[in-house]
Amino acid sequence: MIHTAFVSLHVQAQGPLIERLPDGRLLIEAGGRKVAGHPAPQESPRACGWKAAIAAALIGVGTLTLTAPQAQADTLLNVSYDPTREFYREYNAWFAEWWVAQGNAAPTIQTSHGGSGAQARAVIDGLAAQVVTLALASDIDQIAARSDLIPEDWQARLPNNSSPYTSTIVFLVREGNPEGITDWDDLIAEGVEVITPNPKTSGGARWNYLAAWGYAERNGLDPQDFVAALYRNVPVLDTGARGSTTTFAQRGIGDVLLAWENEAYLALAELGEDQFDIVVPSVSVLAEPPVALVDGHLTDETRALATAYLEQLYSPEAQAMALRHYYRAWDTSAADPADVARFPEVERLSIADFGGWAVVQPEHFGDGGIFDQIYQAQ
């Protein structure tokens, strides 16, 4: 390795190093001769310790963030389905105040929204929810079956089959109903475009499907053919109910949206009463979106919080809130009468009429089930 030796202040020689002399000088070979000289004068090194300190601090912050426990004692994660965003935003704020008024520390409540089926799979895959509030019992059954997070008898633990409110399926059409849609059989007409989400990922989509199936059975049509014809008129399947609403309402795709009742009212309220109309079909489903504790993710501290969170959904104030958000709640004692009177009468078929989710889910929506057969055939 070539070194520079300073023979004097202004005379340097360069060459390969032979050895370092005991007095600190370098002995190098330059131009065929051996030359001894001092090494280059070094400036006092500026303290670059501060750079190292900053780097260490950043890495420290990073490590702390990464290893921070994902849930503290008073954190609650509510994994919910798609259309409940607005409702839970209000409920979470109310519940946090109520919890503090009971003499506890202020809780941190987080929510995640998405298609009900997709959310159930996420919980199975490790999403650390303390409570789940999904679109249908089958999804929570899936969590109970495929992991040991929820006991099998979860549905009996809370009133009304663990459903603090119910809903149903209605049609949302463009203002003035230009296609003249009044009932399910108008949906299979030529040229009508129907928007509904993907039953594989969305709970609402499965209620839609069952409502159509129920109508066909009631009216003497072959249900599988009817539903197949319906899905032939569906141009796009979004993953969740909100995605379908966006496609219909904001992207202007489709003539009719099969929507949760609360989602339809919400679309009217948010996007304009004069843009859409709600059409109530002759027959629909009793959609019961249940809630459950995820025992597997509860600690002693969070169990009380989570239990209270679900129980308070049945309280008069929360029920009034649900009614305000267009859900058909049970307890109308604290509610605004206008909210209660809003809902039209409609004959609603319950899941028991179809044989229960244990039968319906694998037969219709499982791998290779009837929905797969219908959709593949296109």
Binding mask 283-312 for another protein (x = CB under 8 A): ------------------------------
Among 30, 81, 95, 115, binds another protein (CB under 8 A): 115
Long-range interactions of 70-73: CB distance < 8 A, separation 24+: 70/128, 71/128, 71/130, 71/297, 71/302, 72/108, 73/299, 73/301, 73/302
User: Interface with another protein includes 55 (CB under 8 A)?
Assistant: yes
Q: Would you tell me how many other CB atoms lie within 10 Å of the CB of residue 132? A: 30
| Residue number with CB closer to another protein (40 or 359) | 40
User: Interface with another protein includes 62 (CB under 8 A)?
Assistant: yes
| Residue number with CB closer to another protein (118 or 321) | 118
User: Interface with another protein includes 60 (CB under 8 A)?
Assistant: no
User: Interface with another protein includes 243 (CB under 8 A)?
Assistant: yes
| Residue number with CB closer to another protein (253 or 304) | 253
Among 21, 40, 73, 100, binds another protein (CB under 8 A): 40
Which backbone phi and psi does 92 adopt, to 5 degrees? -60, -40
**Residues between 326 and 355 with contacts to another protein, criterion CB under 8 A:** none
Q: Which residues pair with 17 in a beta bridge?
A: 28
Kindly indicate which of the ranges 98-106, 163-171, 232-240, 354-362 contains the residues binding another protein, using the contact rule CB under 8 A: 232-240
User: Interface with another protein includes 111 (CB under 8 A)?
Assistant: yes
Binding mask 123-142 for another protein (x = CB under 8 A): -xxxxx--------------
User: Interface with another protein includes 176 (CB under 8 A)?
Assistant: no
User: Interface with another protein includes 67 (CB under 8 A)?
Assistant: yes
User: Interface with another protein includes 61 (CB under 8 A)?
Assistant: yes
| Token reading at 26 | 């370098």
Q: How far is the CB of 83 from another protein (least distance, A)?
A: 10
User: Interface with another protein includes 44 (CB under 8 A)?
Assistant: no
User: Interface with another protein includes 271 (CB under 8 A)?
Assistant: yes
SS (H, E, C) the chain: CEEEEEEECCEEEEEEEEEECCCCCEEEEECCEEEEEECCCCCCCCCCHHHHHHHHHHHHHHHHHHHCCCCCCCEEEEEECHHHHHHHHHHHHHHHHHHHHCCCCCCEEEEEECCHHHHHHHHHCCCCCCEEECCCHHHHHHHHHHCCCCCCCHHHHCHHHHCCEEECEEEEEECCCCCCCCCHHHHHCCCCCEECCCCCCCHHHHHHHHHHHHHHHHCCCCHHHHHHHHHHCCCCCCCCHHHHHHHHHHCCCCCEEEEEHHHHHHHHHHHCCCCEEEECCCEEECECCCEEECHHHCCHHHHHHHHHHHHHHHCHHHHHHHHHCCCEECCCCCCCHHHHHCCCCCEEECHHHHCCHHHHHHHHHCCCCHHHHHHHCC
Binding mask 185-224 for another protein (x = CB under 8 A): -------------x-xx-----------------------
Among 116, 239, 319, 361, binds another protein (CB under 8 A): 239
User: Interface with another protein includes 274 (CB under 8 A)?
Assistant: no
Q: How far is the CB of 351 from another protein (least distance, A)?
A: 22
| Residue number with CB closer to another protein (41 or 103) | 41
User: Interface with another protein includes 253 (CB under 8 A)?
Assistant: yes
Q: Are strands 283-285 and 347-349 parallel, antiparallel or unpaired?
A: parallel
| Residue number with CB closer to another protein (81 or 314) | 81
- Per CB under 8 A, residues contacting another protein are 1-4, 14, 39-40, 42, 45, 48, 55, 58-59, 61-62, 65-67, 69-70, 77, 85-86, 108, 110-115, 117-118, 121-122, 124-128, 198, 200-201, 235-239, 242-243, 246-247, 250-253, 270-271
